């Protein structure tokens, strides 16, 4: 289907609800689909049961009873996440969230991937679920780089064996770049880079090496660096820089160009 025919279809029959939720910064498109199947989304008072539903401008769309806002401009921030914050909007256990810690006046944002409770460092935040999904895809080829302190000892030979990927507890992980920076007391300091970002991947890799992670800091996500950003500080990525890093085609896909 051509871009012109897609546009015409959208005008005639609306847009898929998951896309609308993502554009409003409610969640990524995949997570928006989960909200729908969980029965948490209504349109004009009717609870949806399929993400294939299409909506038209002006319809009353709500998530958990709260009406969604209009689509925000596509924006991206770098945030230096402290530990002891979860990367979800609502935590069933009542723990403090990243989103509660953000400065007043921030628009509604979602995270690009997640960092677990005790992981520190760079977390990307965006107003746009489509952009979040794009940046999370392994096909971007963007590496997530971590500084790791772990109890135990390892060596370059064991780390070199990870370069073609590794299977751990039945889960296949892609290629891993790992370097031993130093041994300090009973701890090893490592730099680890991964491309997939599977759930708790770095911790699983370290366990495979016989190490127990006691500090984990993400220092970069693709071209975006933690740099000198202070703990708890947030800084917007300039629009021009974001477009340059995405390239014209992907920037157009998410409405940036």
**Helix (H/G/I), strand (E/B), else coil: 23:** helix
- Compute the Cα dihedral for 150, 152, 156, 159 and give only its sign: negative
45 and 63 Cβ atoms separated by less than 8 Å: no
Q: Which of 196, 199, 134 is nearest to 165 (CA)?
A: 196
Tell me whether residue 116 is one of the annotated catalytic residues. Answer: yes
Pick the catalytic residue from 49, 60, 64, 116. 116
Q: Are strands 177-184 and 54-55 parallel, antiparallel or unpaired?
A: unpaired
Half-sphere exposure of residue 244, counting CA atoms within 13 Å on the CB side?
Answer: 7
Which residues share a beta bridge with 125? 77, 111
Question: At which residue do the structure tokens 């925000």 appear?
Answer: 72
CB within 8 Å of 110: residues ≥ 6 apart: 25, 26, 27, 28, 31, 89, 125, 126, 127, 129, 132
Q: Pinpoint the alpha helices (H) of the chain.
A: 3-13, 17-23, 29-37, 98-101, 129-136, 156-160, 201-208, 239-246, 248-253
Which residues are paired to 15 by β-bridges? Answer: 55
Catalytic center residues: 116
């Amino acid at each position: 289907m051509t871009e012109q025919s897609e546009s015409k279809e959208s005008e005639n029959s609306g847009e898929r609800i998951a896309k609308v939720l993502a554009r409003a910064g409610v969640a990524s498109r995949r997570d928006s689909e989960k909200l729908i199947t969980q029965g948490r989304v209504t349109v004009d008072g009717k609870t949806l049961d399929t993400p294939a539903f299409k909506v038209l401008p002006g319809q009353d769309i709500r998530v958990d009873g709260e009406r969604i806002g209009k689509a925000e401009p596509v924006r991206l921030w770098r945030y230096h996440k402290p530990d002891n914050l979860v990367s979800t909007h609502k935590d069933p256990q009542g723990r403090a969230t990243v989103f509660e810690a953000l400065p007043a006046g921030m628009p509604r944002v979602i995270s690009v991937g997640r960092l677990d409770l005790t992981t520190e460092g760079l977390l990307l935040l965006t107003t746009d679920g489509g952009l979040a999904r794009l940046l999370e895809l392994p096909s971007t080829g963007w590496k997530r780089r971590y500084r790791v302190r772990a109890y135990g000892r390892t060596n370059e030979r064991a780390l070199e064996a990870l370069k073609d990927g590794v299977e751990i507890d039945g889960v296949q992980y892609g290629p891993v770049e790992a370097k031993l920076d130093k041994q300090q007391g009973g701890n090893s300091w490592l730099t680890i880079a991964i491309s997939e970002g599977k759930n708790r991947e770095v911790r699983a890799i370290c366990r495979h090496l016989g190490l127990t992670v006691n500090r984990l800091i993400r220092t970069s996500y693709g071209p975006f660096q933690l740099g000198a950003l202070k703990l708890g500080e947030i800084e917007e990525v300039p629009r021009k820089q974001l477009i340059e890093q995405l390239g014209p085609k992907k920037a157009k896909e998410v409405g940036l160009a």
